[in-house]
Homo-oligomer: A and B are copies of this chain.
Amino acid sequence: MSTTLEQTIATIPRMRPPEIGDAVRDRWDSLTKPRGSLGRLESDVVRMAEIQGVSTPSAGRRCMYVFCGDHGITEEGVSLYPSVVTREMVKNFVRGGAAINVLCRQLAITTFVVDAGVSGPPLDGVVDCRVAAGTRNFRRGPAMSREQAATAIERGIELAHDAAASFDLAGLGEMGIGNSTAASALLCVLAGVAPKDAVGRGTGLDDVGVAHKCAVLIEALAFHECDPADPLGVASAIGGFEIVMMAGFILGAASLRLPVVLDGFISGAAFLVARAFCPAVSELVFFGHRSAEHGHTRLLAHGGPPLLDLGLRLGEGTGAALAMGLLSSGVALFREMATFAEAAVSDVKALED
C-alpha cells in the first residue's frame, strides 16, 4: 500500500462527534415546524455537520467530478454501445451538452471532467489524470497492474484535496462504456453477491445480452479468484480506472471531512472498493439515488438508503446532482428558517419542557 493511501486512511475520522449531532438536533427543534417533520432532510443535515465537523454545515459551494475511462472487457460484447462512445461523451461533457452539464448548471454545481483512462490520445478540456488509455480485458487477465491501481487511487486522493480546498459538498459521476460489467464484478467480490444478482442491462441490453454479460462475468471471476481482503488486488484484477480513482476520491474526501454524494451503480462499486480499504467511509458518504440498474439495490444494502428513487440509470452523476439539490435544500432550511422565539410562534414542546 502506498504511503499516500496509508496516510489518508489513517486520518479518516472513525467516530461522529456526539456534541455536534446534539447541537444540530437542538437547532432543528428550535425552528418553526413540528419536531422531526422534515424527516430525512433533518437527519442528513445532522450527518453532514458531523462529517464537516461543524455545528452549522455548509453546502453552498458544490462540485461534481465526472470520472471517465474505457474498459477492455467491451471486447467481449458486454455493452450495447461501442467503446468510442466514452470518448464521444467526454467531448459532449466538455461542450456542456450532456445531462450532467444541464443539471450542474441548474443546480449551481461546478463540473470537472476527469480523464481517468479514456482510450485514444489525450483530450482537451478535461482534468488529465489518465493512468492508461483504457483497461485491459479482464476476462482472462488483470484489468490493470497493481501499480496502475495504486496510481488511480492516489490521483483520486489528490483530486479530493483539490475539491476540499474549494467546495463544501462533492458529487461523483462517471462515464465508461463497459463499466457496469466491472462494477458487477466488484459487487460480487466485495459484497458476496451472486453474478446473476449483480448483472443488469447497463445502457440497455436485452435478455440475451444480459445472459452473455453474466457468462463473461462468471468466467472472469473464476479466472481471478480475487481475495476480498486485498482491495488493491481486487481493484487491479477487475476494476476500471475511473472506478478505482473514484474510490481514491472517496477515501481522500473522507479524510478531509468533505461530504461526498454517490450516484448509482458504478460509483457504488467505487464505494465498495473504498470501504474495503477503510470501513469507516460508510458513515461519510451519501447515497444519492436508487438506480434502475439491477444490482444497485443489492449494493445499497451494503451502503444506506438513497435520497431518490426515480428509475434513473444514466450515470454521469445525474442522480448525485439531483440529490445534492435536496441536501442543499436541507442545509438552507437549517440555516435560514426562523426559530419559534424569533417568529413568536407558540412551541408546544417548549411549553411542556
Contacts and interface: CB of A to CB of B under 8 A. Distances in A.
Interface string A247-268: 0000000000000000000000
A92 interface: yes
A307 interface: yes
Copies of this chain held together in the complex: 2
Given A80-B348, A88-B345, A326-B322, A99 B34 contact: no
A255 B88 CA distance: 45
B332 A92 contact: no
A34 B103 contact: no
Given A97-B343, A338-B98, A204 B312 contact: no
A337 interface: yes
A309 B344 CA distance: 31
A353 interface: no
Contacts of A224: none
A35 B201 CA distance: 12
B310 A326 contact: yes
Contact of A337 (B38, B98, B342, B346): B98
Nearest to A338: B97
Given A88-B346, A346-B85, A348-B81, A99 B39 contact: no
